[in-house]
Structure 1
Amino acid sequence: MTGKKILLGIILILIGMIGIASILTMDIPLPSEVEAILKDKFTAGQIKLLTLINPTILLVILVVIGTILYQKVNLKVPIIEKLIGIRKESIKTTSILKYGLVGGILSGILLSLVSFVFNPIVPAEFLELRESLQPTLAARFLYGGLTEEIVMRFGLMTLIIWLCSKIFKGTKPFVFWIGIVLSAILFAFGHFPIAYQAVDHPTTGLLAYILIGNSLGGIIFGWLYWKKGLESAFIAHIFAHIIMVFAEQFSI
């Protein structure tokens, strides 16, 4: 890896760490038995800091993977690349911003509609748990908008696309779509344990809600990463949360 690519990786880790630090603005409920053990040895502040370890390790691993592989499959981080000298040609900043804004508004509207449609059939226990785990605005914009995009798109999606490019001998459009859809679905599956924690026997409707609600935005953000670069996905994810925050006020 060249020095400039290492610098890119460091910048992305630092950006991701801003999002991880925003977790400190949340109260994260722990299983009672785990909390009892930790409280014997650590203060409340130290316990919060301990919750940052796993996402930090995941962030570093996936940034390293993404930094090594992203150019091999023609993906890009155009604005940062331009700033640090990796990219010599000019970039269309206006297009990056415009597509990110439109993608974010579209994602926010679609995800708000998904919540509106599914909420009547979602078990009350799940809604209560979701409410208790509701992230702060800082966590939604910074962890969701920045860290999740670095981990899921720059890291995981890039890795899947690279693996598929080896299997299918090239980077045809369907290879990118496999990476986009699969990384989005894997992110959604990561939320299934919450459903099983809240409800003894989750219904098909609940699992469908979690799958659709957590993968739909990821597909749009993944397309933006492919076509316009990682920064466009950042913008879209942040604006999706802005739209959802406004929609939640009207649903109360």
Structure 2
Amino acid sequence: MKHLKIALFLGLLGLIAGAFVFPYQLEALRISLGEAEYTKMINSIPVSITVAGIAATIQIGILTTVLSWIGLTLTSRTGLTLPIIKTWLTEKKKPVIDRSGVKLAVLGGVIGAVFMILADFLIFQPHIPKLGNGENVIWWKALFGGVLYGGIVEEVLLRLFLMTLIVWILAVLFKKKNGDLPNAFFWVGLIVAALLFSAGHLPATEKLYGELTPILITRAFVLNGVLGCLFGYLYWKKGLEYAMLSHMALHIVNQVILLPLLNIF
């Protein structure tokens, strides 16, 4: 149970993230469905929207806690870690911040944000007109939803749990232990996790656009796959906190700088 404290801490962060992401998801649905269809959907829910929001938030908190604990349990064999949180919570010491890791994470987030905007504007928008049309989610809802849910919950689910699990399975299959794992294990883990992350966006994409076309599927795998590989690499080389920081930086740059500039011009 030595990992329980960290798992509970991450679960608490997941709970907070869930409280912010729920209103963001509601507004995104309202925009994509239209007022009439959105109202119909809300009226079909057997409980009040408040109760539904509380239930969804608690579910995210529990899921984050459980998957954190499983991922943390597997890190002993994989060598993947959370250097800052682990030092702070379990060793009761002042954590050492890897400044080069911080710079790499922030720079990666900035480049990732620019890559997303340019890819959409130059490649995908000409084939997906809806990308450039219509109302956008209120910026602060999108910001907090992305920073907290994307930066914390998604990194726990996809890096701490899923990527660690894949590397752990490879280590068990090939009878390798921490310190003796080839780089290929980590590349397989981060790429597979990124691909599954991309595939996980397809249901929401279909809901937003009404169908899944080849160009929409390509967009989901290109954008989310490249960024997922970036975050996985940071988790492998620096630690989960740096992957979280990079993911958060991407959403901040997108919502606070790039999208407002794009709307102006």
Q: Could you say which residue in structure 1 is the equivalent of 2:117?
A: 112
Q: Deviations over 1:175-232 (max 9, x none)?
A: 1011101111111101112333345653211110111122211110110000000111
Determine helix, strand or coil for the equivalent of 1:121.
coil
Q: Could you say which residue in structure 1 is the equivalent of 2:44?
A: 37
Determine helix, strand or coil for the equivalent of 1:71.
helix
1:75-114 matched pairs, under 5 angstroms: 75-86=80-91, 91-114=96-119
Deviation at 1:75, TM superposition (A): 0.6
Distance 1:49 1:130 in 2: 27
Contact 1:111 / 1:216 at 8 angstroms: preserved in 2? no
Q: Could you say which residue in structure 1 is the equivalent of 2:250?
A: 240
Distance 1:249 1:204 in 2: 29
Q: Structure 1 residues 54 and 185 mapped into 2: Cα distance closer, same or farther (>3 Å)? A: farther
Distance 2:50 2:87 in 1: 39
1:62 corresponds, among 64, 67, 88, to 67
Q: Relative to structure 2, which stretch is displaced further, 45-54 or 146-155?
A: 45-54
Q: Structure 1 residues 158 and 110 mapped into 2: Cα distance closer, same or farther (>3 Å)? A: same
Q: Structure 1 residues 67 and 155 mapped into 2: Cα distance closer, same or farther (>3 Å)? A: same
Q: Structure 1 residues 213 and 156 mapped into 2: Cα distance closer, same or farther (>3 Å)? A: same
Determine helix, strand or coil for the equivalent of 2:125.
helix
Contact 1:104 / 1:236 at 8 angstroms: preserved in 2? yes
Distance 1:186 1:103 in 2: 21
Q: Could you say which residue in structure 2 is the equivalent of 1:179?
A: 189
Q: Structure 1 residues 61 and 200 mapped into 2: Cα distance closer, same or farther (>3 Å)? A: same
Contact 2:195 / 2:225 at 8 angstroms: preserved in 1? yes
Contact 2:11 / 2:62 at 8 angstroms: preserved in 1? no
2:217 corresponds, among 197, 203, 207, to 207
Q: For 2:259, give the aligned amino acid.
A: E
Q: For 2:239, give the aligned amino acid.
A: G
Contact 1:154 / 1:230 at 8 angstroms: preserved in 2? yes
Identity of aligned residues (%): 28
Deviation at 1:95, TM superposition (A): 2.6
Q: Relative to structure 2, which stretch is displaced further, 99-108 or 51-60?
A: 51-60
Q: Structure 1 residues 42 and 129 mapped into 2: Cα distance closer, same or farther (>3 Å)? A: farther
Contact 1:79 / 1:93 at 8 angstroms: preserved in 2? no
Q: Deviations over 1:118-156 (max 9, x none)?
A: 1121153x7779946985211111111112111111111
Q: Structure 1 residues 199 and 103 mapped into 2: Cα distance closer, same or farther (>3 Å)? A: closer
Distance 1:68 1:247 in 2: 39
Q: For 1:22, give the aligned amino acid.
A: F
Q: Deviations over 1:53-82 (max 9, x none)?
A: 543343233112112111220011011111
State the superposition RMSD in angstroms: 2.8
Deviation at 1:112, TM superposition (A): 1.9
Q: For 2:80, give the aligned amino acid.
A: L
Q: Could you say which residue in structure 2 is the equivalent of 1:228?
A: 238
Q: For 1:120, give the aligned amino acid.
A: P
Distance 2:78 2:135 in 1: 37
Distance 2:55 2:250 in 1: 29
Q: Could you say which residue in structure 1 is the equivalent of 2:33?
A: none
Structure 2: runs of 5 or more not aligned: 31-36
Q: Deviations over 1:71-127 (max 9, x none)?
A: 220011011111124498974532332222122122222222222221121153x77
* Alignment coverage as a number of residue pairs: 247
Q: Could you say which residue in structure 2 is the equivalent of 1:218?
A: 228
Distance 2:232 2:225 in 1: 10
Structure 1: runs of 5 or more not aligned: none
2:79 corresponds, among 74, 82, 106, to 74
